[in-house]
Amino acid sequence: QEWEPQQWVQKRPLQQAHTVFTDAGRKSKKAECVWNKGQNWREHLLQGQEEDSLQTSELKAVVWALSRWHDERLNVVSDSLYVVGVVQRVEDAVIRLPRREILGKLFF
């Protein structure tokens, strides 16, 4: 009998799960999460910092969503290839302290 670790990141949408849409603005340095609750759409706006890139802004939105629904099934929809790549790889990654402080704050 072999033990297989639980894979948290799935390639297909989870059934009976919240779905959160994330996006970020390059010039505004803001990121947003949008989700449906009952009959209403909800949103959470994240104010970025001057040093944020578009990618780190959107990664902040995904990190916020994963923290907000940390104990629930969650589908995250992102248009950022960078963010999707990070999320797909982070589960099995050995992470060292990054040179950019903003990335360190997101991962640690």
Q: Where residue 70 sits, what CATH number does that domain have?
A: 3.30.420.10
Highest-scoring range by mean pLDDT, 12-16, 19-23, 84-88: 19-23
Query: Total structural domains in the chain?
Result: 1
Residue 44 lies in a domain: yes
pTM of the model: 0.78
Residue 73 lies in a domain: yes
Annotate 16-64 with DSSP letters as a single string: T-EEEEEEE-TTT-EEEEEEEETTEEEEEEEE--TT--HHHHHHHHHHH
Domain range for 97: 18-107
Q: Is the dihedral of CA 43, 18, 66, 29 positive or negative?
A: negative
Residue 60 lies in a domain: yes
**Amino acid 101: pLDDT:** 74
Q: How far is residue 29's CA from residue 51's CA, in Å, rounded to a whole number?
A: 9
Residue 71 lies in a domain: yes
Of 108, 33, 30, the C-alpha closest to 64 is 33
Over residues 70-90, the pLDDT tens digits come to 999 999 999 999 999 988 887
- The token pair at 33 is 């999460």
Residue 9 lies in a domain: no
Residue 26 lies in a domain: yes
Place 46 in a pLDDT band, splitting at 50, 70 and 90: very high
Residue 5 lies in a domain: no
CA atoms within a 13 Å half-sphere pointing along the CA-CB vector of 102 = 13
Residue 35 has pLDDT above 70, yes or no: yes
Residue 4 lies in a domain: no
